[in-house]
Amino acid sequence: MVEIWPFVIVGAIAVAAAVLMLLEENAVHSALYLIVVMACISFLFLLLNAPFLAMIQLTVYAGAIMVLFLFVIMLLGAEKVLPADPGQGKNRMRWFTPLAVILTVGLLFVIGTPLLVGDSDERLAAQPMVRVLNVAPDAGIIDVYAGDELIASGLAFGDASPLVTLAAGEQAISIVESAADQAGAQAASTLTLEPDSVQTIIAYGTGEQPTLALVAEDLSSVPDRSSRVTVFHANPEAPTVSFVDFGAEFVEDDTQVLLADLAPGERAEPVILREGEVDWAVVDASNHANVLYDMPDFEIARDRSDLIVIAGQRIFDGSLRTVAVPVETPAEPTFGSPRAIGFELFTTYMLPFQLLAMLLLAAMVGAIVLTHREPDKSRRRVIGRRRVSRPLTSVIASQVGTDITTANGSPAQLPDADAVGK
């Protein structure tokens, strides 16, 4: 959350700098004040969770654009522009300034009043995203319908369907055998889908009719180099389990309990784990020695949100074996992070991105064309050489400390602005 004091201070600085920018006569000073404003805005970007923008603002805007401004100011010697004589030709425009001020203030009011008075819309809730995980050992290959919509097809044991967006509220979920008519549903239940949620429908349980459970997931951004792990116990015939990391083999008491006492049908709270390989074992919660399922070298990748479901798998002899089925989903990138920006930029906004590139190219060419002069080798006028006060070279020279001279010893001058070919 943004705090108020940095905001107020930096905002004040920005406004002040803007006002000073307008009031200054010296164009260089004005440019510098503008840089100050840009810096403030960059800071405000940071306050708004837009680190990428802050960087771009500083590098491109303050760093490139304003420098270009300064270049041209110095080139044209415009740091001091004498105001034109108010007498000539300005008489008829004396109405201008008051009118401009009035209109501008009016604009301020016009925008400000609704801003202050009006209500802002509520953010629309996002629709729930749902997928189905089939860990029912006896159900076979299933199709899943939400209402009349097929949301998963051909799910074998351990398969998860991709995320689909459904309408919030109550949905009638029905499971049928794959490619079979919906009428003969193996299981059907009505589940309430909450908005702004990511839900996994887990079909588990022995017997012909699997049980449907709704497990909420959290796909929001995880801290850096971390992953979120959520565990759900979906084997009703297994006892309460714990997730244990035995650690080194030979070290005593190196056992870490990651999750304790997860009863069947329960969902554990998501935990954030650093990336790496872990050796986990799903053990009986009461007896750690009873290893139900071993997960050696389980890799925890970064920026992921994993759902591990403990399910019973029927093995060849008909008995049920406890397994842990991981469902791995990449987590959302951090809001405002370059990753998030890049994510959008190279998918949704690819075309504008390329177009802007073309635009920049055109601008480059245009700038060169507009300012290009034929080199005038024939004559070099002696008269009317524009003397700029403190040309850039001398500024640089003074700062550097050395004199920059041309071959013939005179201080370097800018090319003659007079000899413009007409």
Partner 1 sequence: MENYPVLVPLIILIPSIGAFINLFWGARLSEKWVGSIGTIASGLAFLVAVLLFVYLSGSNYQSVVIDPPLLDGWIRLPSGGVEIPWQMRVDTLSVTMMLVVTGVGSLIHVYSMGYMHGDPQFHRFFAYLNMFLAFMLVLVTGNNLLMLFVGWEGVGLCSFLLIGFWYGKAKGVGWKNSNAARKAFIVNRIGDFGVLMAMFLTFWTFGTLDFYKPGEIANPGLASHAEVEGGQAEVAAAEAGDAEHAAASGEPVFTDNEHIVTSQLGIFSQAKRLIDEQRTVSFGSLTLPIGTVLTLITLFMLLGATGKSAQIPLFVWLPDAMAGPTPVSALIHAATMVTAGVYLMVRSNVFFHYAEFTSLVVTLIGASTAIVAGFIAIGQWDIKKVLAYSTVSQLGFMVAAVGVGAYGAAMFHLVTHAFFKALLFLGSGSVIHGMEHGHHHAAHAHNHGDEHHAEEEEFDPQDMRNMGGLRHRMPVTYWTYLIGTLALAGIFPFAGFWSKDEILADSWLAGIVDGNVSGYIAFGVLLLAAGFTAFYMWRQVSLVFLGQPRTEAARHAPESVPSMTIPLVVLAVLSVAAGFFNVPTGALGLENVFGAHRFTFWLEQSVEYAHAGTFQWVIALGALVVALGAMYLADGIYRRRGLDEQQRDPLYVGGGTRPLWRLSNARLYWDETYSRLFEQPFNRTAKFLGDTVDWAFLHDYVHDTVIYKGFNAIGDLLARPIDLGLIDGAVNGLGRLTQAISAGLRRVQSGYVRVYALSLLLGVVLVIIVLLLPLLGRG
Partner 2 sequence: MVVQTEAFIMLSMVLFVLGTLGVLLKRNAILVFMSIELMLNATNLAIAAFAHQWGQVDGHLFVFFIITVAAAEVAVGLALIVAIFRAKRSINIDELHQMEG
Question: Could you say which residues in the range 115-144 bind partner 1, by CB under 8 A?
Answer: 117-119
Contact mark string toward partner 2, 51..90, x via CB under 8 A:
-xx--xx--xx--xxx-xx--xx-xx-x--x-xx----xx
Smallest separation, CB 100 to partner 1 (Å): 6
Question: Which parts of 8-37 interact with partner 2 (CB under 8 A)?
Answer: 11, 14-15, 18-19, 21-22, 27, 30-31, 34, 37
Provide the 8-state DSSP code for 406: -
* Element at 111 (helix H, strand E): helix 96-117
Terminal-residue alpha carbon distance, the chain? 60
Q: Which two tokens stand for residue 58?
A: 């500083």
Binding region for partner 1 (CB under 8 A) out of 12-20, 107-115, 218-226, 328-336: 107-115
Q: Is position 362 an interface residue for partner 2 (rule: CB under 8 A)? A: yes
Are 161 and 180 contacting, i.e. CB atoms less than 8 angstroms apart?
A: no
Q: Is position 111 an interface residue for partner 1 (rule: CB under 8 A)? A: yes
Burial class (CB in 10 A: 0-12, 13-18, 19+), 138: middle
Cβ distance to partner 1 smaller for residue 117 or 248? 117
Q: Residue 119 binds what, of partner 1, partner 2, none (CB under 5 to 8 Å, by partner type)?
A: partner 1
Q: Is position 350 an interface residue for partner 2 (rule: CB under 8 A)? A: no
- Residues that bind partner 2 (rule: CB under 8 A) add up to a total of 85
CB within 8 Å of 389: residues ≥ 6 apart: 77, 79, 80
CB within 8 Å of 266: residues ≥ 6 apart: 232, 233
Pick from 251, 370, 400, 407 the residue near partner 2 by CB under 8 A: 370
Phi-psi region of 23 (alpha: psi -120 to 50; beta: other; left: phi over 0): alpha
Q: Is position 161 an interface residue for partner 2 (rule: CB under 8 A)? A: no
Strand ranges across the sheet with 226-233: 271-274, 226-233, 304-314, 320-330
Cβ distance to partner 1 smaller for residue 59 or 113? 113
Q: Residue 182 binds what, of partner 1, partner 2, none (CB under 5 to 8 Å, by partner type)?
A: none
Smallest separation, CB 377 to partner 2 (Å): 18
Three-state DSSP state, 405? strand
Are 70 and 31 contacting, i.e. CB atoms less than 8 angstroms apart?
A: yes
Question: Which parts of 116-145 interact with partner 2 (CB under 8 A)?
Answer: 116, 120, 123
Question: Which parts of 277-336 interact with partner 2 (CB under 8 A)?
Answer: 335-336
Choose among 200, 125, 157, 168: nearest CA to 321.
157
Q: Which two tokens stand for residue 175?
A: 């499971």
- In one-letter notation, the amino acid at residue 410 is S
Binding region for partner 2 (CB under 8 A) out of 43-51, 130-138, 230-238, 256-264: 43-51
Cβ distance to partner 1 smaller for residue 100 or 301? 100
Q: Is position 4 an interface residue for partner 1 (rule: CB under 8 A)? A: no
Cβ distance to partner 2 smaller for residue 36 or 273? 36
Are 40 and 48 contacting, i.e. CB atoms less than 8 angstroms apart?
A: no
Pick from 106, 162, 411, 415 the residue near partner 1 by CB under 8 A: 106
Q: Residue 31 binds what, of partner 2, partner 1, none (CB under 5 to 8 Å, by partner type)?
A: partner 2
Choose among 12, 9, 34: nearest CA to 21.
34
Smallest separation, CB 84 to partner 2 (Å): 6
Provide the 8-state DSSP code for 92: G
Cβ distance to partner 2 smaller for residue 34 or 268? 34
Q: Which two tokens stand for residue 327?
A: 């469902």
Q: Is position 367 an interface residue for partner 2 (rule: CB under 8 A)? A: yes
Are 312 and 134 contacting, i.e. CB atoms less than 8 angstroms apart?
A: no
Question: Which parts of 44-103 interact with partner 1 (CB under 8 A)?
Answer: 93, 96, 99-100, 103
Are 245 and 258 contacting, i.e. CB atoms less than 8 angstroms apart?
A: yes
Q: Residue 117 binds what, of partner 2, partner 1, none (CB under 5 to 8 Å, by partner type)?
A: partner 1
Choose among 276, 188, 284: nearest CA to 229.
276
* Element at 277 (helix H, strand E): strand 276-284
Contact mark string toward partner 2, 371..410, x via CB under 8 A:
x-x-------------------------------------
Q: Is position 255 an interface residue for partner 2 (rule: CB under 8 A)? A: no
The partner residues of 204 in beta bridges, in order of sequence, read: 211
Q: Is position 414 an interface residue for partner 2 (rule: CB under 8 A)? A: no
Q: Which residues make up the interface to partner 1 (CB under 8 A)?
A: 93, 96, 99-100, 103-104, 106-107, 110-111, 113-114, 117-119
